[in-house]
């Protein structure tokens, strides 16, 4: 991808082999780079060992980590917003200094900085302003709105500076592109969260993953506030069906107690430990329904509208019926509705969800959904195409030393 004239430095709060959607996207897009062309930077120390990480394979590259500064002790009590701002300024300056030194020592000619951490993007902007090295701001989620409480004031202060200073802006879908264009007049490049192409013949030949006679609804990933009420609606809908063999299988690194605290528990829920990335497609292919939820009553509705879950392409690539339960104006609802590649329930209504569940479990229209899903995965989530887009963005901004 990059030329041999210098390195790409990638800054992200999660990196392979962390078990997260963002690290999976990073692994798929940046794998296969020439030896010595990539340095990966995070606040987590990945250099010593991958023990405890169950996500995608490590990338071939040098891993570096940033050290946080101790939080300041203020003699005079400060309001939460003021304290958050002062803490942010201290941390951003410290990270910018460290990133700037890394850019110099690694002889980098471009920095790619990802969202997900409150301080990484502002630190990247400051480091690149000091060094003259261009940076690409990669918004996996809407940075301005993903923070609540005092942290939101930090995001409001720094996002305009980050977006306008970036040599290029990358977003995961057209909804996020339109949001940043309306907000700042800046046109972003869409690089979708890619997925591997599934070998359906091999997946079908594998042993059955779920008990015979059971109807399996599968979700793979973390369960948190951006989805909780949709999960609770699903459990209520399952109970409305009156079919004891319908189960929700959740594959996650979270514990059953974590799920229960969010109201996701009961005899309908089957908890599974997080599974290695190489096994995900096999499990998804054996499901009767794949569940893709986003919250209706959330503290971050703007993020919900532009969210593109990393699992979206993988769900489509296995050719199973996808059930989207998300607000009407969410990108995922519009995408599945417009492409006919999944069933969409965009009302906060367990009864409507139960009706759609019943239809899918009875096989009504699922063949057409499965065919459209495979077509959408090939068209919009292919790894080769997304790598070409990434290469074009990097080469358009880099300034060889």
- Write down the domain spans for the chain: 7-194+382-397, 200-380
pTM for the model stands at: 0.91
The pLDDT value given to residue 75: 63
The pLDDT value given to residue 69: 76
The pLDDT value given to residue 342: 97
Alpha carbon distances (Å) from 318 to 20, 55, 313, 335: 20, 20, 9, 17
The pLDDT value given to residue 29: 94
CATH code, 7-194+382-397: 3.40.50.2000
The pLDDT value given to residue 235: 98
Cβ neighbourhood burial of 243 (10 Å; 0-12, 13-18, 19+): middle
pLDDT in tens, the chain (401 residues): 444 457 999 999 999 998 888 999 999 999 867 778 999 999 998 876 555 676 788 998 899 999 887 766 656 788 999 999 999 999 999 999 999 999 999 999 999 999 999 999 999 999 999 999 999 999 999 999 999 999 999 999 999 999 999 999 999 999 999 999 999 999 999 999 998 888 898 888 888 889 988 999 999 989 999 999 999 999 999 999 999 899 999 999 899 999 999 999 999 999 999 888 888 999 999 999 999 999 999 999 999 999 999 899 999 999 999 999 999 999 999 999 999 999 999 999 999 999 999 999 999 999 999 999 999 999 999 999 999 999 999 999 987 65
* Fold match, 7-194+382-397 / 200-380: yes
The pLDDT value given to residue 68: 80
Listed residue (20, 12, 29, 30) closest to 56, CA to CA:
20
The distance from CA 256 to its chain's CA centroid, rounded to whole angstroms, is 22
Q: Which strands make up the sheet holding 343-345, listed edge to edge?
A: 269-273, 246-252, 215-220, 289-293, 322-325, 343-345
The CATH H-level (homologous superfamily) assignment of domain 200-380 is Glycogen Phosphorylase B; (3.40.50.2000)
């Amino acid at each position: 991808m990059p030329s041999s004239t210098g390195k790409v430095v990638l800054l992200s709060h999660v990196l392979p082999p962390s078990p997260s959607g963002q690290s999976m996207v990073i692994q798929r897009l940046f794998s296969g780079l020439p030896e010595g062309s990539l340095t990966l930077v995070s606040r987590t120390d990945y250099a010593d060992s991958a023990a405890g990480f169950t996500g995608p394979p490590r990338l071939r590259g040098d891993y570096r980590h940033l050290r946080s500064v101790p939080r300041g002790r203020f003699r005079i009590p400060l309001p939460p917003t003021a304290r958050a701002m002062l803490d942010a300024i201290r941390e951003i300056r410290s990270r910018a200094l460290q990133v700037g030194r890394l850019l110099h020592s690694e002889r980098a000619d471009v920095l790619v900085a990802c969202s997900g951490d409150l301080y990484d993007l502002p630190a990247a902007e400051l480091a690149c302003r000091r060094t003259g090295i261009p940076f690409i701001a990669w918004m996996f989620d809407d940075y301005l709105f993903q923070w609540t409480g005092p942290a939101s004031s930090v995001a409001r202060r720094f996002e305009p500076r980050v977006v306008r200073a970036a040599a290029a802006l990358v977003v995961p879908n057209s909804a996020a592109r339109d949001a940043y264009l309306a907000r700042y007049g800046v046109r972003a490049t869409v690089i979708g969260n890619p997925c591997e192409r599934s070998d359906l013949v091999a997946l079908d030949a594998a042993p059955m993953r779920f008990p015979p006679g059971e109807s399996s609804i599968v979700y793979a990933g973390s369960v948190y506030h951006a989805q909780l009420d949709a999960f609770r609606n699903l459990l209520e809908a399952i109970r409305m069906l009156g079919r004891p063999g319908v189960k929700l299988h959740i594959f996650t690194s979270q514990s059953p107690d974590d799920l229960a605290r969010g109201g996701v528990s009961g005899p309908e829920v089957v908890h599974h430990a997080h599974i290695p990335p190489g096994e995900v497609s096999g499990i998804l292919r054996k499901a009767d329904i794949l569940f893709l939820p986003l919250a209706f009553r959330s503290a971050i509705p703007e993020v919900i509208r532009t969210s593109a879950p990393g699992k979206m392409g993988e769900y489509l690539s296995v050719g199973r019926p996808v059930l989207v339960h998300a607000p009407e104006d969410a990108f995922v609802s519009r995408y599945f509705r417009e492409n006919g590649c999944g069933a969409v329930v965009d009302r906060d209504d367990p009864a409507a969800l139960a009706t759609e569940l019943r239809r899918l479990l009875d096989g009504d229209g699922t063949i057409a959904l499965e065919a459209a899903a495979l077509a959408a995965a090939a068209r919009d989530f292919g790894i080769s195409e997304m790598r070409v887009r990434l290469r074009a963005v990097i080469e358009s901004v880099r300034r060889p030393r």
